[in-house]
Amino acid sequence: MRTEALTEAITIAADTGKASRDQIEDLLSGERARVRSVVEVLPESDLVWALGTDVGEQALLNAFELMPSYYVPGSFERDVTVRYRVTRVPGEPVVQDVVFGPQSCRIASAEQTEPPDLSVFLDGVGFVRIATGLAKGMELLMRGELKVQGDVQVAMKMETFFGLAEPESKS
């Protein structure tokens, strides 16, 4: 993101009392622990506001770009495409494809790929809560805050893709 845009966003956030400079920088860091530290303390209305800005869009795009570094391989024998549609108010939705393979995952433009195996629909707050491990996808699904269309088997395994699922207990 351009330095001028970041400076402007930080100024607006500070002037409105919505977020501090450190919080904006943490949201943009792409580091799960730093992002989580902001998401845990920022009031939901302020988080919605932040994600609706250009900086919020960049934070979401950063999260997608970092997905391959968190990917835990071994769930698939072939490439599986998941299309995420993350809504933001008042911003435009962020639509991104993630292709999960046997050994790696990669980010792809949603406009340039075949129809996905699975589509995931949720708002920005839900996305960052799942991405930081503060919420489970199944919780949001049960509350109607996350919707899926397509291969439900893929949806059931998604948290394991990034090491977010709790380990199964061995009895």
pLDDT along the chain (171 residues), means of 10: 65 75 78 85 87 86 89 88 94 93 91 84 94 88 94 82 56 40
Whole-angstrom Cα distance, residue 79 to residue 111? Answer: 17
- Which pLDDT score, from 0 to 100, does residue 119 have? 95
Rounded CA Rg of the chain? 16
Residues 6+ apart with CB under 8 A from 25: 10
Q: What is the residue type of 60?
A: L
Q: How far apart are CA 125 and CA 47, in angstroms?
A: 7
pTM for this entry: 0.82
In degrees, rounded to 5, the angle at the alpha carbon of residue 34 between the alpha carbons of residues 97 and 140 is: 50
Count of Cβ atoms closer than 10 Å to residue 22 Cβ: 12
Structure tokens at 165: 């699922």
Q: Which fold has domain 72-161?
A: Nonspecific Lipid-transfer Protein; Chain A (3.30.1050)
> What is the structure's pLDDT at 1?
47
pLDDT value, residue 166: 53
Q: Where exactly does CATH 3.30.1050.10 map onto the chain?
A: 72-161
Which DSSP symbol is given to 41? H
Residue 109's pLDDT is: 86
